[in-house]
A and B are shown apart, each in its own frame.
Chain A
Amino acid sequence: MINYTITQAAELLHKKQISAVELTKEYLQNIANTENRVHAFTQLNEKQALDSAQHADQKLHNGSANKLTGIPIAIKDIMNTVDWRTTCSSKMLENYQSVYDATCISKLKERGMVIVGKTNMDEFAMGSSTETSAFFKTFNPWNLEYVPGGSSGGSAACIAANQAICSLGTDTGGSIRQPASFCSVTGFKPTYGRVSRYGVVAFASSLDQVGTFTKDAHDAAILLEALCGADSKDSTSAKQAVPAFSQDLRDGVRGLRIGVPKEYFAQGINPQVESLVRKAVQELQNHGAIVKEISLPNTKYALAVYYIIAPSEASANLARFDGVKYGLRADGNDMWQVIEKTRGQGFGDEVLRRIMIGTYALSAGYYDAWYLKAQKVRTLIKAEFTDAFKEVDIICAPTAPVLPFKSGEKIDDPLAMYLADICTIPINIAGLPGMSIPCGFANGLPVGLQIIGRPFDEQTILNTAHTYQKLTSFHKEQPKL
Chain B
Amino acid sequence: MQLSKEDVLRVAKLARLDLDEQEIERFQSQLSNILHHFSVLSEVDTAGIAPTSQPFDTKNIMRKDLTASSLPTAQILLNAPDLQDDSFKVKAVME
Q: Which residues of A contact B (CB under 8 A)?
A: 95-97, 99-100, 192-193, 206, 232, 235-236, 238, 298, 300-301, 303-305, 307-308, 315, 319, 322-329, 332-341, 343-345, 347, 349, 352-353, 355-357, 359-360, 363, 369-370, 372-380, 382, 414-415, 418, 430-431, 455
Interchain Cβ contacts within 8 Å, total number: 168
Please, how many angstroms separate the alpha-carbon atoms of A465 and B71 in the complex? 42
Asked if residues B14 and A359 are in contact (CB atoms below 8 Å), the reply is yes
Asked if residues B44 and A236 are in contact (CB atoms below 8 Å), the reply is no
Asked if residues A235 and B61 are in contact (CB atoms below 8 Å), the reply is yes
- A to B CB contacts below 8 Å, 17 in the list: A100-B71, A238-B56, A298-B44, A301-B40, A307-B34, A325-B79, A326-B79, A335-B93, A340-B18, A344-B19, A352-B23, A353-B27, A353-B30, A356-B11, A357-B31, A377-B41, A431-B54
Asked if residues A356 and B27 are in contact (CB atoms below 8 Å), the reply is yes
Partner of B17, one of A96, A303, A304, A356: A356
Asked if residues B56 and A339 are in contact (CB atoms below 8 Å), the reply is no
Q: Which residue of A lies closest to B47 (CB)?
A: A376
Asked if residues A344 and B51 are in contact (CB atoms below 8 Å), the reply is no
- Give min CB distance, A35 to chain B, whole Å: 27
Asked if residues A99 and B78 are in contact (CB atoms below 8 Å), the reply is yes
Partner of A236, one of B30, B33, B58, B91: B58
Asked if residues A343 and B17 are in contact (CB atoms below 8 Å), the reply is yes
**Taking A235-B61, A414-B30 as contacts, is the C-beta distance between A344 and B41 under 8 angstroms?**
no
Which chain A residues border B8 with CB–CB below 8 Å?
356
- Chain B interface, DSSP helix/strand/loop, else mixed: loop
Please, how many angstroms separate the alpha-carbon atoms of A344 and B22 in the complex? 13
Please, how many angstroms separate the alpha-carbon atoms of A300 and B61 in the complex? 35
Asked if residues B44 and A344 are in contact (CB atoms below 8 Å), the reply is no
- Give min CB distance, A32 to chain B, whole Å: 30
Interface size on B, residues (CB 8 A): 53
Asked if residues A322 and B16 are in contact (CB atoms below 8 Å), the reply is yes
Asked if residues B15 and A355 are in contact (CB atoms below 8 Å), the reply is yes
Partner of A324, one of B33, B37, B90, B92: B90
Asked if residues A377 and B58 are in contact (CB atoms below 8 Å), the reply is no
- Give min CB distance, B85 to chain A, whole Å: 15
Q: Which residue of B lies closest to A343 (CB)?
A: B17
Please, how many angstroms separate the alpha-carbon atoms of A328 and B79 in the complex? 10
Partner of A363, one of B11, B23, B27, B33: B11
**Taking A323-B81, A343-B16, A344-B18 as contacts, is the C-beta distance between A379 and B51 under 8 angstroms?**
yes
- Give min CB distance, B15 to chain A, whole Å: 4
Which chain A residues border B79 with CB–CB below 8 Å?
95-97, 99, 325-327
Partner of A301, one of B15, B44, B71: B44
Asked if residues B15 and A325 are in contact (CB atoms below 8 Å), the reply is no
Asked if residues A355 and B17 are in contact (CB atoms below 8 Å), the reply is yes
Partner of A352, one of B19, B39, B50, B53: B19
Partner of A332, one of B20, B38, B91: B91
Please, how many angstroms separate the alpha-carbon atoms of A357 and B50 in the complex? 23
Asked if residues A324 and B88 are in contact (CB atoms below 8 Å), the reply is yes
Q: Is the CB of B67 closer than 8 A to any CB of chain A?
A: no
**Taking A305-B41, A332-B91 as contacts, is the C-beta distance between A353 and B81 under 8 angstroms?**
no
Which chain A residues border B63 with CB–CB below 8 Å?
232
Please, how many angstroms separate the alpha-carbon atoms of A332 and B90 in the complex? 11
**Taking A326-B81, A343-B18, A356-B11 as contacts, is the C-beta distance between A193 and B58 under 8 angstroms?**
yes
- Give min CB distance, A427 to chain B, whole Å: 10
**Taking A343-B16, A344-B18 as contacts, is the C-beta distance between A382 and B55 under 8 angstroms?**
yes
